[in-house]
Structures are given as C-alpha cells and as structure tokens.
Amino acid sequence: MPAVDRIVVITGANRGIGLELARQLAAAGDTVVLGSRDPAKGAAAAAGLKHQGLDVDPRPLDVTDPAGLADLAAGVERDHGRVDVLVNNAAIHYDTWQRASTADLAVVGEALDTNLLGAWRTTLALLPLLRASSHGRIVNVSSGAGQLTGMTGGIPAYKVSKAGLSALTLMLADELRRDRILVNAVCPGWVATDMGGPGGRPVAEGAASVRWAVDLPDDGPTGGFFRDGERIPW
C-alpha cells in the first residue's frame, strides 16, 4: 500500500495527464505540488481542484530554468520538508510534421531541453528532498514512441527525447537503489489531451497508468518501463 499523506511534485500539471493525476492523488489524501511553467495557468488549475476540496499547492515550475528549480526546491523544503514522489510529466513537441532526415534541429533541441534535460534538472534539484523521504519514487512519463524496439521514422524530436529519458531512467534506478528510491518510466498510452489529440483513451485512464508507478510498494520494481502496470520493452 502507498504511504499516506505523501508530498508529490508533478511537472506540467496544469492540464492533461498531469492535472488529472494531481486530482486523483489529492483525492486519495496526498499533498500535490502542482507545477506549471505558466504561474497563472497553474493557479487556475489549482483553484479548480481546491474548489473540490482537494489539497494542492501550485508552484511555478519551468523545467528549463535551473534558478527557478532551485527556488522551487527551497520553497518545498521550507513548506513540506521532503518530497515523496516526483512525476516528471512536462513534455513538448510531438513533431508529426518532421522526419529525422530533414529535421529542424532547433526543434529537436527544444524537445531535448524539456523532455529529457528538464526531467534530469528537476530530479537533481529535488533529489535531496527525495532522499529525505522513506518512500521515494521518481516516475518519468514516457511514451511507446520512444521505444527502440520496432522504432520507425518520423516524430524525431519527441522520439529521441523519450528514448533518452529511458536511458536516464535506467541510470537513476541503478544509482538510487542504495537510497531506496524507485525509478520507473511509464507510458500512459495514447490519451485524448492537447498533445495527444482527439481519439485517444480517456485522460483518467492515462493518469491511472502513471499512478500505478506512484503507488508502488517499497519492494516494487525499479528500472522498468510500464504501461497499465505491465512491463513493456524499451
């Protein structure tokens, strides 16, 4: 069973899967730090959850801003003392219009800066607070599009950034075993969000796929890639 009253930080939580995950976890009794690059959008999203009686703490969180991440870590330490769960959810550029052979590398660089380096920066900023927890979890929201198994052409910026996130997941899982921090990647599936577009599964189902890794017991798996609680190939 998951620990009760956890402190959960979610990046990119003002909409889509991040917002729904925040709702689910807050409804279960967790304190959710709702991170948003745009503070106004984060505050509006948090107000909607607070209106439902849910405990959320909106914070500016730009995964590309090291100074801002340092401020976030200091504020969370001051107000909460620890972080039990970090969900690296923020992502950009599902670049269906591109091919690897003709790619705009500026777009690729932006995707890497948010989807891979952003998750890396946020993890490093919050790692001391995760180590202060008795039940540390890092959940990297990834995608089947980044699987090397069966990878084909197209969507290069997004695919490469998510493949890199897989490598980061494996390295962190190995290095943080001694700290009893579980690190896993999760594919929420094709979800009907602003990024995923219409036709996908309901956002609640995609968020539940991510929540499975958040709620892992202390003896749960680490260093894996999962969808709906089932291990999938890298």
> Per the domain annotation, does 1 fall within a domain?
no
Question: Environment class of residue 5 by beta-carbon count within 10 Å: exposed (0-12), middle (13-18) or buried (19+)?
Answer: exposed
CB 21 within 8 A of CB 54: no
> Per the domain annotation, does 170 fall within a domain?
yes
- Range of 39's domain? 7-231
> Per the domain annotation, does 2 fall within a domain?
no
Distances (CA, A) of 173 to 167, 169, 170: 10, 6, 5
Active-site residues: which are they? Answer: 158
> Per the domain annotation, does 104 fall within a domain?
yes
Number of structural domains found in the chain: 1
| Per-residue model confidence as pLDDT tens for the chain (234 residues) | 455 689 999 999 999 999 999 999 999 999 999 999 999 999 999 999 999 999 899 999 999 999 999 999 999 999 999 999 999 999 999 999 999 999 999 999 999 999 999 999 999 999 999 999 999 999 999 999 999 999 999 999 999 999 999 999 999 999 999 999 999 999 998 775 666 556 667 889 999 999 999 999 999 999 999 999 999 999
CB 137 within 8 A of CB 181: yes
CATH number at residue 212: 3.40.50.720
Tell me, rounded to whole angstroms, the distance of Cα 30 from its chain centroid: 16
Q: What is the pLDDT of residue 6?
A: 97
> Per the domain annotation, does 137 fall within a domain?
yes
Q: What is the pLDDT of residue 5?
A: 85
Q: Judge if pTM exceeds 0.85.
A: yes
Q: What is the pLDDT of residue 206?
A: 94
Backbone angles phi and psi of 223, in degrees to 5: 75, 30
From the list 198, 104, 90, 233, the residue with the least C-alpha distance to 156 is 104
Q: What is the pLDDT of residue 192?
A: 56
